[in-house]
Amino acid sequence: MLFIVIIISFLNLIQSNDVKNSKLSYTAITRRKNIASVYDYKQKVMSTSIKYYVQRLSDGENIELALARISSETCFQFQETNNLTSATLIYKPGYYYSTNRKEENSNLHIIYLSYSRPEVSKIIRETLYALGIDYEHDRPDRNRYITVYSQNIYSTYLILFKRKIQSIFIKYNLGYDYKSVMHFSCNEFSKNKKKTIEAKNKLIEPFMGKSEYLTFTDAKAVNLKYCINSSLKNAKCINYGYPNPKTPYTCKCLPFYCGPHCEHKVRNFGYCSPINRFKAKYSTAFRTLHLGGTCYFFIETVPGLKIKLLLFFHHNLLTYRKCNNKEYIEVRYSKDISVSGVIYCPRVKPIIIVSEGPLIVIRSSYSSSKYKVKIAYKLA
């Protein structure tokens, strides 16, 4: 009883501005054009079958892995070649990760990778940039989400932080994704070890530039630009789904939606708590969630209202402190639920969140069935 009283008091004392994902007003959000960071350039990729050449790099395995991850989510296929003249992409050693997009009179994109073992995530990022997908932090609406500190950036690389003009972007209605594989980390290209980018959402800043895979919105941007032909556009997709480029007349859904048109929320199986849909009300509700494998939980209310959530690990399980790309809890609470959420790692201190819209999605991925978390939620 004492525990419940403490939690209720704690929730009521928390001010929503301590936990908002963004400081945007409702008016600003509704006026937002949700412009995707896809550069509509004159030199478009004519074929999705790409040949690449690797020059003097000690480790080509990570290049293969990075390209395989792009292929698994898109229509692009990559083939290594020893013939430099037939290559579209050239990977060269360099001090920083960067890309020279091809000029009008050139057939090549040159991608510079670290002299040491190249990081898979940055190979993906620079390859997609070469193919026409801009960096996430260069979007025309980026000032609502991040602050760029030009004084901390090497002058040579300032161009990589230049905000793009709205008119040169294809508008795919994609939300700003801090965890996009196309996003720089907070100190990338820093000349003085100070931040070059600061997120206005402090909960998610530690995860900027850390994605090792394409996010849902990354893949969606590539597929909408290059992989969706007129026959595939007949698929009627909802809940942020889009026509599947690999299976005609079906939809590519967010991982927590399913059905031919992404119309259903997924159910839990295995060690996950079977009841996974909850309604937020004005009174505080409490749940203990059992985790094991991949689990999804939905906290919902009616449009126009928001949800306040407190989440923490069961105190007996804090010795299991795994938190990485394979074992984690993600909480999505943006108005655009398709963009990545905040990662919550096992710790004593709870995480407190106020949703931007009428839905919070909790996703867990744990191989062990020993994990349990407690949640308390109510209308904000």
- Spatial contact of 242 and 252, defined as CB atoms under 8 Å apart: yes
Catalytic residue, chosen from 61, 103, 104, 126, is 126
188 is catalytic: no
DSSP string, 259-321: STTS-EEPPP-TTS-S--EEE--SS-EEEEEE--EEEEEEEE--TT--EEEEEEE-GGGTT--
- Separation CA 353–CA 330 (nearest Å): 12
What's phi and psi for 338, nearest 5 deg?
Answer: -80, -20
Q: Burial level of 281, CB count in 10 A (0-12/13-18/19+)?
A: exposed
Of 338, 339, 180, 211, residue with least CA distance to 262: 338
CA 289 – CA 360 distance, rounded (Å): 15
Alpha carbon distance 33, 12 (integer Å) = 34
Distance CA 290, CA 241 (A): 28
Query: CA-CA distance, 298 to 276, in Å (whole number)?
Result: 6
Residue 345 structure tokens? 């790692």
What gap in Å lies between CA 28 and CA 129, rounded to an integer? 29
The CA-based angle 167-340-328, given to 5 degrees, is 160
CA 147 centroid distance within chain: 18
- Count helices and strands (H / E) in the chain: 5, 20
124-146 as b/e: b if 16+ CB within 10 A:
bbbbbbbbbbbbbbbbebbeebb
Nearest to 145 by CA among 183, 188, 200: 200
**How far is the C-alpha of 125 from the C-alpha of 114, rounded, in Å?**
13
Known catalytic residues? Answer: 126
